[in-house]
Structure 1
Amino acid sequence: MRPTLSVLLGCLLCTVTLVPADAGGPRTWRVGPDRELRTPSAAAAVARDGDTVLIDPGTYVGDVATWTQDDLTLRGDGGRAHLRAAGASAQGKAIWVIAGDRTTVDLVELSGATVPDGNGAGIRQEGTDLTVTRSWFHHNQDGILTGADPASDIVIRRSRFFRNCAGDGLTHNIYVGAVRSLTVTGSYLWGADTGHELKSRAARNTIVGNLITDRDATASYSIDLPNGGRSLVAGNVVVQGPRSENSALVSYGAEGLTGTPQLWVVGNTFVNRRPAGTFVDLAAGSRAELRNNLLVGPGELTSLAGVPSRANLRVGRGTFVDPAHDDFRLRAGSPALDRGVRVPQRWRVRWEYVHPAGQVRRPVVGRTDLGAFERR
């Protein structure tokens, strides 16, 4: 019997979906419950270097994958695509194990990764270079966990990390190994369970324009740079909660300084809700500059004597719009207005955080205001 027209058209559409006409160039794969490829793992089996995988909104329960392709883009299409582990893992490591190089992940949500060895991650990065944007990581043992790769650059923008960690102090919202560089901007990190909100062993760290807050969690350091590195911590709101298990907000070099031990801490709003603490804890031998920061609550600015520091001001909660809800924009008449000192161009604050996970260029309005926000 000869095939009907509808059957022929159906076969043609399948061919277009699965094998684009230019079979030698980059391809776009569409994933969704009503598509030929119903899950991201199905796309992982057919994608090649340079391809794009567009994932329909929805929840993909128990679907895990290892991505081995280079120059791959994985993107939620039309809304965030939620990968919920539900006890599954790729290679016993993560929801997504990314083994290829130069991967971009955009508009996805990864939750619930748990594995027997205790460090199940939303993403386990094993390739070189990763860019993550507009994505959520929550209720995993680690949000993102990377290995050591001195050629790798990790970039995280406009993303959320919350309620990750296994409660053992060894897992964290973000844990980046000894890579070449880490950049985190416009992101919202909160509620780490015993671990750190952000831990990085990168040789260079740029942590600018984020909200990092423990809220009610038993987090440890807000920012942990255990091996130091050439690092900029600027324009962040960093809030240590009353249940934090470590008295320092930023820790630098606690596990031994390597590389270039240079730290600039510029234009942050630091809030300590514990009865005591240290805002910036520095290992002996650190080279640090602390300028234009606002301090709220008790504690010493730094643990190391003789550190160059200028225009760091302790203020009360009345300085801010709504500190009870982590809104630390400045009120009119604040003593922080127009009090900043000059900072070398490469260390200046370029970004401001926009809640719940965004960023805008920090404006120039007369003399620089202290803290994480410039009053318009």
Structure 2
Amino acid sequence: MRLLVLALAAGLLVGSPAPASSYDERAQAPRTWRVGPDRALTTPSAAAAVARDGDTVLIDPGTYSGDVATWTQDDLTLRGDGGRAHLRADGNDAQGKAIWVIAGDRTTVDRIELSGASVPDRNGAGIRQKGTDLTVTRSWFHDNENGILTGADPESDVVITRSRFFRNGFGDGYSHNLYVGAVRSLTVSGSWLADARTGHELKSRAARNTIVANRISDGDATASYSVDLPNGGRSLVAGNVIVQGPRSENPALVSYGAEGLTHPSRTLWVVNNTLVNQRTSGTFVALAAGARAHLRNNLLVGPGDLTSGPTADARRNRVIGLDGFADPQVEDFRLLPSSPAVDRGVAVPRRLRARLEYTAPTGHVRRPASGRPDLGAYELR
């Protein structure tokens, strides 16, 4: 009898049915869909019509002109396979919002290029995020009205790494390279945001912001703020190279609380950044009344006041010329041994240190930690 029970439990008896739960698990097992001109699914939108929760969609490199989609599934991975897959709007949109509307939760987007989104309300996005949680890696967003635009979701975490945002914005000041709504958290690292059209390079209403080891540069564009955190929130801006261009339409590089400090935390840490102002005047960090700002070990290049607004807790922020950097003409702000920034920093609480350094064109490496820290976004090697 005992052997019979064991055999039934293991499903070894001929003709014995598999438990219903085993069948359900097999039926719902995640699948991988392949997309490409020479495959059964020729477009990403075709995959959006058949994918289920947990599936992976691998898209062959190439340009998918006019192909737009709404993704409703949860736990999807959408990946360019063997290189970036380019989704070019060419006048089309999903739901009047974007090239991709992502309505499912916990989506990962990797090696995807989205360009040309334009819609009647001037808010066309490469990705319009409507679900909870989004992770974007190794992707490009350019020539859209918004690169990524998210809604408000207090349970959502948005993570962006090793990606590029450039030439996004309608030009009216209400659309941006990257625009994140009132989510729980935003993390951006190892990315390059550049050439926003009148709008901000990065705008976030998140309750918690971690902006580390990026290059944020206007070039010759008419961008506004480089980093805009209009509602405050617990925020760390660390290890970034931020270059405000000569045609920027706003004098501040980093703005905190300009539209009201609505989050419970009003604390901003600005640590070990290289902040470059190419205008004739300006402000490196603009603070709203009530903000609690801590500025440590930043390098300031060009004219302007360190802060505006309330008094900040500022230590070892130094004005410096261009001769202490490797090649500032191409925005290479690594330090030379002769730089007065070497070994001039002060200690910062461990959780707030600049632990990463930006590497071109999109990436980051761990910042060395030995002795007194150097000022700015790079540690001399």
| Structure 1 and Structure 2 fold alike (TM over 0.5) | yes
Task: Tell me what 2:296 maps to.
Answer: 291
In the TM superposition, what are the counterparts of 1:85-124 in structure 2 within 5 Å?
85-124=89-128
The answer to whether the aligner puts 1:322 opposite 2:330 as a matched pair is no
Select which of 43, 66, 72 maps to 2:47.
Answer: 43
Preserved contact between residue 287 and residue 310 of structure 2 (Cα < 8 Å):
no
Between the aligned partners of 1:201 and 1:233, the Cα distance in structure 2 is 14
Give 1 or 2 for the bigger CA radius of gyration: 2
Task: Tell me what 1:5 maps to.
Answer: none
1:167-224 Cα deviation digits (max 9, x unpaired): 0000000000000000000000000010000000000000000000000000000000
Task: Tell me what 2:13 maps to.
Answer: none
In the TM superposition, what are the counterparts of 1:60-71 in structure 2 within 5 Å?
60-71=64-75
Select which of 283, 286, 302 maps to 2:307.
Answer: 302
Task: Tell me what 2:201 maps to.
Answer: 197
1:73-126 Cα deviation digits (max 9, x unpaired): 000000000000000000010000000000000000000000011000000000
Between the aligned partners of 1:349 and 1:372, the Cα distance in structure 2 is 8
* Counterpart residue type for residue 339 of structure 2: S
Between the aligned partners of 1:224 and 1:250, the Cα distance in structure 2 is 6
Which ranges of structure 2 fall in alignment gaps of 5 or more residues? 1-24
Task: Tell me what 1:271 maps to.
Answer: 276
Between the aligned partners of 2:308 and 2:352, the Cα distance in structure 1 is 22
* TM-score, with structure 2 as normaliser: 0.93
| 1:22 Cα deviation from its structure 2 partner | 4.4
Between the aligned partners of 1:24 and 1:223, the Cα distance in structure 2 is 43
Aligned length: 356
The answer to whether the aligner puts 1:177 opposite 2:181 as a matched pair is yes
Between the aligned partners of 2:36 and 2:44, the Cα distance in structure 1 is 8
The answer to whether the aligner puts 1:130 opposite 2:130 as a matched pair is no
1:126-171 Cα deviation digits (max 9, x unpaired): 0000000000000000000000000000000000000000000000
In the TM superposition, what are the counterparts of 1:1-376 in structure 2 within 5 Å?
22-259=26-263, 260-376=265-381
| 1:304 Cα deviation from its structure 2 partner | 2.7
Structure 1 residues 34 and 22 mapped into 2: Cα distance closer, same or farther (>3 Å)?
farther
Between the aligned partners of 2:84 and 2:303, the Cα distance in structure 1 is 40
- Structure 1 stretch displaced more, 215-224 or 23-32: 23-32
Preserved contact between residue 296 and residue 346 of structure 2 (Cα < 8 Å):
yes
Preserved contact between residue 297 and residue 318 of structure 2 (Cα < 8 Å):
yes
- Structure 1 stretch displaced more, 306-315 or 275-284: 306-315
| 1:23 Cα deviation from its structure 2 partner | 3.5
Preserved contact between residue 186 and residue 208 of structure 1 (Cα < 8 Å):
yes
Task: Tell me what 1:17 maps to.
Answer: none
| 1:321 Cα deviation from its structure 2 partner | 0.6
Preserved contact between residue 202 and residue 228 of structure 2 (Cα < 8 Å):
yes
SS at 1:302 equivalent: strand
SS at 1:228 equivalent: coil
Between the aligned partners of 2:28 and 2:135, the Cα distance in structure 1 is 25
- Structure 1 stretch displaced more, 160-169 or 21-30: 21-30
Preserved contact between residue 30 and residue 56 of structure 2 (Cα < 8 Å):
yes
Task: Tell me what 1:11 maps to.
Answer: none
* Counterpart residue type for residue 159 of structure 1: S
Preserved contact between residue 365 and residue 374 of structure 1 (Cα < 8 Å):
no
| 1:365 Cα deviation from its structure 2 partner | 3.1
| 1:333 Cα deviation from its structure 2 partner | 1.2
Which ranges of structure 1 fall in alignment gaps of 5 or more residues? 1-20
- Structure 1 stretch displaced more, 134-143 or 366-375: 366-375
SS at 1:258 equivalent: coil
Preserved contact between residue 289 and residue 310 of structure 2 (Cα < 8 Å):
no
